[in-house]
Amino acid sequence: MKNRQVAEAWGRNQFAQSNNMRSAGGSLFSYEMEIGRTNNGEKEALLVRGEDSYSQTTSCHVGLAVEVADITVKPRWSGGWAYFPK
């Protein structure tokens, strides 16, 4: 299965897996890092988690999550999350 298909399956709340990306329940993972989640029925693409940096591959996976997501979120420096609707 291709990574794009995994992201699309996440958008439909389906389980799917490729070599390094998976949709499990309401979450989307690149390797073991959560890059997407479902919150009150809306798909949220997580751009950054704390101070973690992404590999090139994970950056591509995040791009796929953004395409499918309803909302893009990233942490604020002061804590909490900043939400960016499409």
Q: With 70 as the cut, is the pLDDT of residue 14 above it?
A: yes
What's the average model confidence in pLDDT over 2-27?
95
Map 18-80 to HEC letters.
CCCEEEECCEEEECCEEEEEEECCEEEEECCCCCCCCCHHHHHHHHHHHHHCCEEEEECCCCC
Distance CA 65, CA 69 (A): 6
State yes or no: pLDDT of 69 exceeds 50: yes
* pLDDT attached to residue 83: 62
| Per-residue pLDDT at 73 | 87
The per-residue pLDDT for 47 is 82
pLDDT > 80? residue 11: yes
pLDDT single digits (tens) 29-67:
999 889 999 999 999 998 865 455 668 888 899 999 999
The domain spans of the chain are: 3-85
